[in-house]
Structure 1
Amino acid sequence: MISKIVTKLTLILFFLFAFQTSGQEKKFNGDPDSAFKTARELAFNKQRKQAQDTLLLILTKYPDYHDIRDFLATTYSWDEDYKKAKKEFAYILDKDFKRKTTWIAAIKNELWANMPFIALKKSNEALKIFPNDPEILYLKASAYEKTKNPLDALSTIQLVLNQNPDNQEAKDYKINLNKTLSQNTIGINSSVDIYSSTFNPMQYYTFRYGRQTKYGSIIAKVNVNRRFDENGAQYEVDLYPKIAKGLYAYVNFGLANSFLFPDMRYGAELYKSLPKSFEVSLGFRTLKYDTSTTNIFTGSVGWYNGNNYWSFRPYLTPGDTGTSKSGNLIFRRYRSDADNYLELSAGIGYSPENNQNNISGNLAPIFDLKSQKINTGYYFSSSNKRNNWGTQFGVTHQEKSFDQGNYFWIYTLAISWELKFK
């Protein structure tokens, strides 16, 4: 017991002595270059607080050692302490306004702090000192984009390319800006279902036009199907209105005058972003036929993990014999952007939302069938990001609607193309 008390007292005395000693050392004594090197090593080894303490101590004796203060400000930016970083950058520029590296770091700090208007102002100030500098012009373009002025960003990045047409970073940025400015799309999807027995191949086509607006996107579609030796068309509109940050909706309405489709369909769904890169949704779909109406309740849970995306969507369809349940799991591995990815999916159960081909005349679809399916798809874009293509192959093992208990296989092949334009 006594030994423990002695040990505690010794530790208390040690810390008091250390605190007193450190309090007395207000001025740096040593080689600033060597200490700066040590501080950099600490910072790059995730010991930034120790690095910052060392840098501050050096500056007590060498306040105008700008490389040290510049690096200190940069570590503050890394720690998202943007106000402290701004103060240090301002001190340096007040002493040496022709220091280009500090201008660049200061502009980046404002961009990271989500202060694009200040970043734009600083970019213009820096360009007065360094006219047509490509690095500063690039940052100015970034500031324009963040202020919702992609056209100005595009004209600014073009100034960089005028000086150096082979600047790959600027070329890539221009492609992405053009993609942002391409608010119109047209496209076509074509697929065929090949049955192992009973049915002839069934063909599906979708022609669509979409436009992105500040309120969300709108997509008009014409679906044309050839099934059961008949042709039919359906006309649809999809809306994705923005409601608030992290909250948007899906609204659908469609009409047809062919037994190959519901006479009318409509639906809605609400999507909400959550912390940790999760997204959830909840909604419904309604299919109306001459003699009946089918309601489908659905939702989803999605998760973005780096370049990977996972999503699970269940379907609940109430009916006279109970509630039909089905679900679909999707995995995507993204490459360069959202238009380039590999997709794998697997589903179990039958839902008339995804399977509308088991109908006869104007009767409602049978939806208590057993079904299992797997799909794989690959989607890619052209080098200028204006053309997108997709390919898909799927296999479904499905119970026959007219002979329940027996199954056939369905092999699906699909291709798609989309063009983006201003």
Structure 2
Amino acid sequence: MLMKRSCYILLFCCCVVTTAQAQLFKKSQDPDALYTSALAQTRAGQYAAATRQIDEAIRLAPKNTDYQTLKARLLLLQNRPQEALPMLQRILAANPRNRDAYFYAINSATAMSRQDDAVCYVDEALYYFPRDRELAIKKLGVLDNAQQFGKANAYAEELWARHPDDSVINRAYIDHYLYTGGAYAKNGNPILSRMAYEKVLEAEPANAEASTAVLGLYLKNEDYDAALIRVNAALATQPNSYELLMRKLGIQQETHRYADALATLQTIRNKYPNDAKAAQLENSLRLEAAAYYSNIDPYMLYLSVLEKEPNNSEALQKVIGLTVARGAYEEALGWINRGLRTRSNDPVLLGQKVDMLEHVNKYPEAAQIARQLWQQTRNSSWAQRTAQLKNASGRYYLGQQQYTLALQEFEDALSAAPGDRDALNNLVNCYIALKQTDNALLTVQKALQQYPNDEALLSKEASILSDAGRYEEAAQVTRQLLAVHPGNAAYSTTLADQQLAAGRILMQAEDYDLARTQLQQVLAQQPNNLDALNYLINLESGAGRPDSALNYADQALTTYPGDRELLLKKASILQTLQRYDEAAAIEQSLMERYPYTLKYRNAYTETLMARGDSFRRSQQPDSALAQYEKVLALRPKDSLALLYTANAWLGKQQPDSALPYIDRGIRAYPTSIAFLEKRANVLEARKDYTAAALAADSLQQSAPTTDHREYADFLQSKGLHDQFGMYYLNSTYDYNNDHYNVATLEYRHYIKKGSYAFRVGYAGRQEGTGIQGEAELYYNHSAKTYSYALLTGSNGLAFPQVRAAYSLFHTFPHGFEGEIGARYLHADSTNSMSGVVSIAKSIHDFWANFRTYLISEDGSLYTSFNLTTRYYMNRQQDYISFVAALGTSPDDRSRLIAFPQLVGLLTRSVGAGFQKTFRFRTTVGVNAMWINQKISDSQFQNQYDLYFTLLRKF
């Protein structure tokens, strides 16, 4: 017992450990893997399991439209279209090019008996996928399902005309008319039903379903002759069909053609010797025939004669005649062949054989015998008959797409009857089928030489020219026809179509004036021609004539007031004319009527955007903002609306209001250059350099260009408020061996209104080390005015004991800056006071400053002049400079110690320098100066300065 309990405990522990491991090491689910698994389960028919997996995938990735599309498909497969359709509408609103979603939406609407919605969805799909064959066939099925047979027939004919050699389209065409024929028959409309089935037989003569249906309609209307012709035609392609033979027997029995019926029955017995029904009919049919004829049928009498005298010509002719009278042409042909066995060249029998072969549509054989008789007799009537049968034979080959044989037959017809209109017309048709347009046109023109002004030939010529794309020439021919038949609506329509096509080609060739003329001629005949109006609207809009385009749009809308495309075009033209309120009203109405059609919403938002831009350009930011807000209400993630809204707030100097829209843009488009850059700019304008630097860093990561890296560095430097500097001055002379070297250390701190700095300078002299302390201040009073102040004190060795400076700077219009200030210097018991005036000017990257000093020392007045120029590079980070001076100024650091002795001397100075900044943090510079001093009338001395700078922000 104890052992058993121990086993239970051990088993429980194993289970706990296994469960814990499963929980600890359970992998996070991959939505793509879930989608793939759900797809496989869908194909396997395991819809419930597939639904659970795709729901989990959607939970993990709710914005993935592929997952949502599969979910909608599963809902459809589970017969839940009312749940699938709203989901599909959302999918198509987000992605209007989701082809699968359109198919599922069409199927959902069909399943819910919302046929009009199904038509809308298939039209919307074809707008985005106009050449999709599967969608085109789908539309045909949707129209059939909606019982819109008129539209379906027109669309089927359009597809057939566009894709005559496409077997799939042909099959859809046939299936459509089979369905239509059945629907018309069910609705009690036999005429339309028969017309539909005959369309099928035109495309596929051997179609059993259509043939049976047409035959049934004939029988229902008791049109037995037509029914018999249809059965015989079907038997020509299916001679062994038991069903067709029995149907033929039934018709012959119903019309009391017992001899024919007995012959047909014998055929059935030969082909189906074991058929009990046929065996049973044999006696009953003979009894019925015997009762009907009562032994007075001449046919039977002549047959009895032939049984006794097989070569009796008179009896044979009577039997042939009676057989023909009963419509049994195949049987008559048999009797004629029986006679020709003994009289092979009998012209009467040969002529009768020609007739019978023609009756059973064996035109090639009939034409051959007719040609033989013509050559034997040289009779003009047989020549005409030969031409007639050769034409029929050629048409037969043409129907079988045996164009070479057809061409030979038509040429033979012309050789038998030169100038035969049918032969000429058929020859043209054959050339057209062979796509030999030039030969077809040449044949028509030859025919017109024989039959000038022939209406049919002129129509054919116009048709060939149209098919060859020579619409202007075709239109000239059609005008000729219309002049003779001014009231002919068909010619008017044809002329309009040709002029439309010519106008379209001229538009494509950008020959707008000629295109406009063609289209206006169409409107002169048909003022409400929608195609011409549409083309003229497009042409005038493209040619920059919106007023004229608007007139045509209004003209079109008078006849077609609810046409969506016309309304949309009118709105576009109104937008071009800057009549935004009218354009928006039209587009808003369309959007409300068709809420799931994306292009109307897009057009409405584009008009709102254009209207907003118009207000922005006319300095009406509040009105512009109202328009942008309307756009964002419809499309919260519209990038342009967000950007323009932010710009409008910035234009109002309200960056705090702009920033939320910029942030919305970044959330919607995390890598957008425009929004990241705009955020950095706004934060920079707010002087929030830390946040601006972070935004610029994100911008650099999204678009790592040199400009973005420099901008990020610049903003990072703006957040630095301290700077360390080192300066080194080396002065040498040509008149002694002394050197004047000064090393200076600086600390500078940047404040909101400017900066202040403290410096300590060191200079070694024979008499000791000079130490100088300096305090410097830059202070901004306003955006255009600032002050500069300096106070210096030293131990008197190598530096003046006291130096003070103050200047006030102001920026004037046109890039000028003025300065007025004062300088004080005390050195070697000498006091010096100076007034300073300067003017500076910036021209693009060039800057120049001219400064004048008026110096007063011990009652004497001196002047000094200084010209400093700089050329900035790399967005004004770096520059080269040039300095020219006359006299010694109290700001000259290298000669301040000797200022009392030099102030009155004639001194000329020339120098140049270069300063470069690395990443807006580290600055290095070097300046060189040559100073020439006149110490007597004939004696000069020179001084050479080198000044090095190193600055680092932190």
Normalised TM-score (structure 2): 0.36
In 1, Cα distance between the equivalents of 2:749 and 2:657? Answer: 32
Query: Deviation per CA, 1:314-333, whole angstroms, max 9, x where unpaired?
Result: 11101346311011111111
Partner of 1:252: 790
Larger Rg: 2
- Are 2:772 and 2:792, in contact at CA under 8 Å, matched by a contact in 1? yes
Match of 2:818 among 280, 288, 296: 280
1:151 has 2:670 as partner: no
1:105 has 2:638 as partner: no
Match of 1:394 among 923, 929, 939: 929
How many pairs does the alignment contain? Answer: 372
In 1, Cα distance between the equivalents of 2:816 and 2:620? Answer: 27
Single out whichever of 265-274 and 137-146 deviates more from structure 2. 137-146
SS across alignment from 1:117: helix
In 2, Cα distance between the equivalents of 1:335 and 1:87? Answer: 43
For 1:106, the aligned partner's letter is: T
For 1:418, the aligned partner's letter is: L
The aligned runs of 1:21-100 (5 Å cut-off) are 31-32=540-541, 35=544, 55-57=576-578, 59=580, 62-63=583-584, 64=603, 67=606, 70=609, 82=621, 85-100=624-639
Query: Deviation per CA, 1:381-422, whole angstroms, max 9, x where unpaired?
Result: 22x32211111122111123xx5652112222222111111x
1:372 has 2:905 as partner: no
1:141 has 2:680 as partner: yes
Q: Which has the higher strand share?
A: 1
CA 1:335–1:111: 2 relative to 1, 3 Å? farther
1:323 has 2:861 as partner: yes
Task: After TM superposition, give the deviation of residue 32 of structure 1 in Å.
Answer: 4.9
- Are 2:616 and 2:648, in contact at CA under 8 Å, matched by a contact in 1? yes
CA 1:82–1:375: 2 relative to 1, 3 Å? farther
Task: After TM superposition, give the deviation of residue 227 of structure 1 in Å.
Answer: 5.2
Match of 1:266 among 804, 824, 835: 804
Query: Deviation per CA, 1:345-388, whole angstroms, max 9, x where unpaired?
Result: 1111222431663757xx94441111111111111122x32211
For 1:409, the aligned partner's letter is: N
Task: After TM superposition, give the deviation of residue 279 of structure 1 in Å.
Answer: 1.4
1:203 has 2:741 as partner: yes
- Are 2:700 and 2:712, in contact at CA under 8 Å, matched by a contact in 1? no
SS across alignment from 2:883: strand
SS across alignment from 2:731: strand
Which structure is richer in relative contact order (CA contacts within 8 A, separation 6 or more)?
1
Match of 1:341 among 875, 879, 903: 879
Single out whichever of 232-241 and 135-144 deviates more from structure 2. 135-144
CA 1:131–1:418: 2 relative to 1, 3 Å? closer
CA 1:189–1:267: 2 relative to 1, 3 Å? same
Single out whichever of 141-150 and 76-85 deviates more from structure 2. 76-85
Task: After TM superposition, give the deviation of residue 338 of structure 1 in Å.
Answer: 3.9
The aligned runs of 1:163-312 (5 Å cut-off) are 164=702, 166-226=704-764, 231-289=769-827, 291-312=829-850
Normalised TM-score (structure 1): 0.77
SS across alignment from 1:57: coil
Single out whichever of 239-248 and 308-317 deviates more from structure 2. 239-248
1:406 has 2:939 as partner: yes
SS across alignment from 1:331: strand
In 2, Cα distance between the equivalents of 1:36 and 1:301? Answer: 55
SS across alignment from 2:895: coil
SS across alignment from 1:244: coil
Partner of 2:662: 123
- Are 2:578 and 2:611, in contact at CA under 8 Å, matched by a contact in 1? no
- Are 2:800 and 2:897, in contact at CA under 8 Å, matched by a contact in 1? no
Query: Deviation per CA, 1:253-292, whole angstroms, max 9, x where unpaired?
Result: 1110123222111121111122212211211111123633
Query: Deviation per CA, 1:223-249, whole angstroms, max 9, x where unpaired?
Result: 222457753121101011222232211
In 1, Cα distance between the equivalents of 2:576 and 2:885? Answer: 58
Partner of 1:416: 949
In 1, Cα distance between the equivalents of 2:849 and 2:619? Answer: 32
- Are 1:55 and 1:68, in contact at CA under 8 Å, matched by a contact in 2? no
For 1:292, the aligned partner's letter is: T
In 1, Cα distance between the equivalents of 2:836 and 2:927? Answer: 24
Match of 1:385 among 897, 920, 931: 920
For 1:115, the aligned partner's letter is: Q
Gaps of at least 5 residues in structure 2 are: 1-536, 547-573, 585-602
For 1:116, the aligned partner's letter is: P
In 2, Cα distance between the equivalents of 1:377 and 1:73? Answer: 52
For 2:944, the aligned partner's letter is: Y
SS across alignment from 2:781: strand
Q: Which has the higher helix share?
A: 2
SS across alignment from 1:357: helix
- Are 2:802 and 2:825, in contact at CA under 8 Å, matched by a contact in 1? yes
Query: Deviation per CA, 1:49-95, whole angstroms, max 9, x where unpaired?
Result: xxxx9955353653456557646755776786655654554454345
Query: Deviation per CA, 1:82-120, whole angstroms, max 9, x where unpaired?
Result: 556545544543454332123223323433553311221
CA 1:184–1:205: 2 relative to 1, 3 Å? same
For 1:114, the aligned partner's letter is: Q
User: Could you tell me the percent identity over the aligned residues?
Assistant: 19
CA 1:77–1:193: 2 relative to 1, 3 Å? farther
In 2, Cα distance between the equivalents of 1:59 and 1:144? Answer: 35
Query: Deviation per CA, 1:121-140, whole angstroms, max 9, x where unpaired?
Result: 22133345445645323322
Partner of 1:7: none
- Are 2:924 and 2:948, in contact at CA under 8 Å, matched by a contact in 1? yes
CA 1:375–1:271: 2 relative to 1, 3 Å? same
In 2, Cα distance between the equivalents of 1:287 and 1:378? Answer: 29
In 2, Cα distance between the equivalents of 1:277 and 1:36? Answer: 45
CA 1:261–1:133: 2 relative to 1, 3 Å? same
CA 1:306–1:358: 2 relative to 1, 3 Å? closer
CA 1:130–1:259: 2 relative to 1, 3 Å? closer
RMSD: 3.2
Task: After TM superposition, give the deviation of residue 158 of structure 1 in Å.
Answer: 3.3
For 2:578, the aligned partner's letter is: L
CA 1:359–1:254: 2 relative to 1, 3 Å? closer
In 2, Cα distance between the equivalents of 1:111 and 1:36? Answer: 36
CA 1:123–1:89: 2 relative to 1, 3 Å? same
In 1, Cα distance between the equivalents of 2:541 and 2:628? Answer: 20
For 1:398, the aligned partner's letter is: Q
SS across alignment from 2:797: coil
- Are 1:374 and 1:395, in contact at CA under 8 Å, matched by a contact in 2? yes
- Are 2:615 and 2:621, in contact at CA under 8 Å, matched by a contact in 1? yes
SS across alignment from 1:62: helix
